[in-house]
Structure 1
Amino acid sequence: MPDTPYLVAAVLLSAAVTWGLRALPFAALAPLRASRTVQYLSRGMPAGVMVILLVYCLRDLPLTEPRALAPLAALAVTIGLHLWRRNALLSILGGTTVHVVLASTVFAH
């Protein structure tokens, strides 16, 4: 078994490496916060990510079948709630509730 000074040195070294790896992103990103590009991306990326997720989720939706009504109704409710109240949590919960209710009861096969 290794002696005590070796174990203490190993623990201290691993603690220093862990702390450094966790602090490095904050230290590296601090100068970038004033960048115009980063500020632009912070405004535009959330909407872009949502559009990509929307397209991904609805890409295989058969619009000619009745089962497409549940996700489309849920999408309409989500958009409507968000435009009305500007509350992301309410929009997500409302749309999810509508989808679950419609998919499990009305349009279940």
Structure 2
Amino acid sequence: MASEDFYLISFILVAAAATLTTRLLPFAFLGKQSHHPLVQHLGRYLPAGIMALLVVIFLLQSGHWQQPILGLDALIPAGLVVALHLWKRNALLSMLAGTACYMLIQQSFL
């Protein structure tokens, strides 16, 4: 086996072990603490906070902020995602609709 192959295989194994470990550790340590108020608070509000942060980063990066459209190519899909999520409470539906709307705007108008 060549040196590059050994390096590549060992890198993949280390990355897989690190990913598995970081995914399992919270469940191993916090599994018995699932009724703790802090864990319940984090479970309730952290996903929405992460989604909001991703939306802000997305809007700042992908929006075209020139004069003619002034970021509407990113703001309209983001508004659709928020409106659908508040209406239907379905994260998958709101993300798919927002992505479809964004791609439609990108392909049609820009």
User: Under TM normalisation by the shorter chain, which class is it?
Assistant: 0.5 to 0.7
- Check the 8 A contact 1:32/1:38 in 2, yes or no: yes
Aligned to 1:95: 98
Aligned to 2:89: 86
Aligned to 2:59: 58
Identity among equivalent positions (%) equals 36
Query: 2: CA distance between counterparts of 1:29 and 1:58?
Result: 34
Gaps of 5+ in 1: 1-17
Gaps of 5+ in 2: 1-16
- Check the 8 A contact 1:70/1:98 in 2, yes or no: no
Aligned to 2:6: none
Match of 1:76 among 74, 79, 82: 79
Query: 2: CA distance between counterparts of 1:75 and 1:51?
Result: 10
TM-score (norm 1): 0.64
| Range with bigger deviation, 66-75 or 96-105 | 66-75
Q: Which has the higher contact order (CA 8 A, sep 6+)?
A: 1
Q: Could you say if the C-alpha distance between residues 63 and 88 of structure 1 is closer, same or farther in structure 2, counting changes exceeding 3 Å?
A: farther
The CA RMSD over aligned residues, in Å, is 2.5
TM-score (norm 2): 0.64
Where in structure 2 are the equivalents of 1:1-109 lying within 5 Å? Answer: 25=25, 26-60=27-61, 61=63, 62=65, 64-66=67-69, 68-106=71-109, 108=110
Deviations 1:3-45 (A, max 9, x none): xxxxxxxxxxxxxxx9xx97x7344222221221111111110
Task: Count matched residues.
Answer: 87
Kindly report structure 1 stretches of 4+ aligned residues shifted beyond 6 Å.
none
Offset of residue 102 of structure 1: 0.7
